[in-house]
Amino acid sequence: MTSSSADESQNHPEKTQTQNVQQIVTTTVSNNNAKFPYLKKDEYETWAMKMEYWIMNSDHHLWNVVLNGNIKKNVRTDPKGNIIILPPVSTEEQIVVQRETKARTLLLQSLPEDHMGNFHHLDDARDIWLAVKARFGGNEESKKMRKSMLKQEFQEFRVSEDEGLHKGYDRFQKILSQLNQLQAKPDNEDCNIKFLRALPSSWSQVAITLKAKGGLDYLNFDDLYNKLKSLEIDIK
């Protein structure tokens, strides 16, 4: 630090403190090119996992605020019993408050516009996270019903000739992903055999050959797809 900078720090400590706060709190969020996760219907579990990863990858301190709350927040109760949040005093308090503001903004921006107003009144990022889970996570009965519907989709899954291998793979992978979130994903062999049976008749000889060779219980679904993709030109 130069002498002029040192003099400025001594003469204007509050200005230097604010600059330090801004420098420390600045994260890679604005520079992160990863796709921002938005909450979609019936995809809370997927959104929650993606949001956790996205925030942690941007700045793990933000995720700590979401998960554990703002432990540096000072509050007091007024004569009527209402909780009042006191302004931050120390540099550390300012840092955490700004982190919570950023985390709260991220969570609100990830919600559908018609639901954002339902959570905007919540001051704490942790409260928003828990409220979104309560609203969209569903109870045990709804999860049980969702699991039953997905299992039926799995059993009735078919790939049409017009749909093709790639689109069929994407649709089947989405079903598997949702079953996995509900801890109901079938094992590798069941997934692979089901997909082979679901393919159009033009793939029947390939499906028979792969099943005859065996090893489908050790092959994950992505590997099976890549193997089929390499044979797609021959099928066409």
pLDDT band for position 135 (50/70/90)?
confident
In this prediction, residue 153 carries a pLDDT of 93
Evaluated on CA atoms 182, 47, 32, 127, the torsion sign reads: negative
Distance between CA 26 and CA 55 in Å, rounded? 13
SS3 category, 221? helix
Distance in angstroms (rounded) separating the CA atoms of residues 37 and 213:
41
How does the average pLDDT of the chain come out, rounded?
Answer: 78
- The better pLDDT of the pair 9, 64 is held by 64
Extended beta strands in the chain, E state: 75-77, 83-85
Predicted local confidence at residue 31, as pLDDT? 43
Give per-residue pLDDT as tens, 217-228: 889 999 999 999
pLDDT of res. 223:
93
Give residue 76's region: left, alpha or beta (phi > 0; psi -120 to 50).
beta
pLDDT of 79 strictly over 60? yes
User: Model's pTM, two decimal places?
Assistant: 0.50
pLDDT tens digits, residue range 25-41?
A: 344 344 444 567 888 87
Instruction: Flag whether pLDDT at 187 surpasses 60.
Output: yes
In sequence order, the 6+-apart residues with CB closer than 8 A to the CB of 54 are 32, 34, 36, 37
DSSP 85: E
